Amino acid sequence: MEYFPPALENLVEQFAKLPGIGRKSAQRLAFHVLSLSPEEAEAFAQAVVEAKRAIHCCPVCQNLTEGDGPCSICASPRRDTSLICVVADPKDVVAMERSREYQGLYHVLHGVISPMNHVSPDDLHIKSLLERVAAGGVSEVIMATNPDTEGEATAMYLSRLLKPFQVKVTRLAYGIPVGSHLEYTDDATLMRALEGRREM
Ligand SMILES: [Zn+2]
């Protein structure tokens, strides 16, 4: 049985709660923190507290943003507000923005429907998407969830929900291999997927 002073043990436990971090890695990280100067350790702790305090979901698109108002994309006068691109994750917005091809707005679901992981439609930001479309001014909703089983099922589910609103619903034309993620797709492929999108 290993013995650490309680404060160190607590630090190890906090690191061990992070995704993908086992007990051994947690110990390594805790010892690293102990080797920092007091200023460095303070800056690290402050970054955690400050990120948690400052980052919120944009009230319009649900992407992560600082402050209470809409994010910079929703607030931009240069974006095409008639287009909404639906993605699973804030990281997917970064991927789409990187391609610099897309000029519309986004809607971040914060996950996909996954019975296996106990994620139901109620756990996702779907109601706010329907409200945006219902409010009018949207001509097309682009489904850009990943081309895996759960991403496809989520896109199908949403397209059915959106049918009554008489809005065009399209799906990215994935030349992207099945099972791959938007996040790791190169810009050229993403651009082709966007240009070749098809009505669902
Ligand atoms: Zn936004």
Question: For residue 153, with 0-12 CB atoms within 10 Å meaning exposed, 13-18 middle and 19 or more buried, which class applies?
Answer: middle
Classify residue 177 by its DSSP letter: P
- Distance (Å) from CA 105 to ligand 1 centroid: 8
Q: Are 71 and 65 in contact (CB under 8 A)?
A: yes
Query: Which residues fall within 8 angstroms of residue 183, CB to CB, at 6 or more apart?
Result: 89, 91, 92, 94, 95
Q: What is the pTM of this model?
A: 0.80
- Distance (Å) from CA 33 to ligand 1 centroid: 35
- Distance (Å) from CA 104 to ligand 1 centroid: 11
What's the mean pLDDT in 175-196?
A: 73
Tokens of 65: 């943003």
* pLDDT 10s digits, 64-112: 999 889 999 999 999 999 999 999 999 999 999 988 889 999 999 999 9
Mean predicted lDDT score pLDDT of the chain = 91
- Distance (Å) from CA 50 to ligand 1 centroid: 20
- Distance (Å) from CA 107 to ligand 1 centroid: 8
Cα distance between residue 139 and residue 58, in whole Å? 21
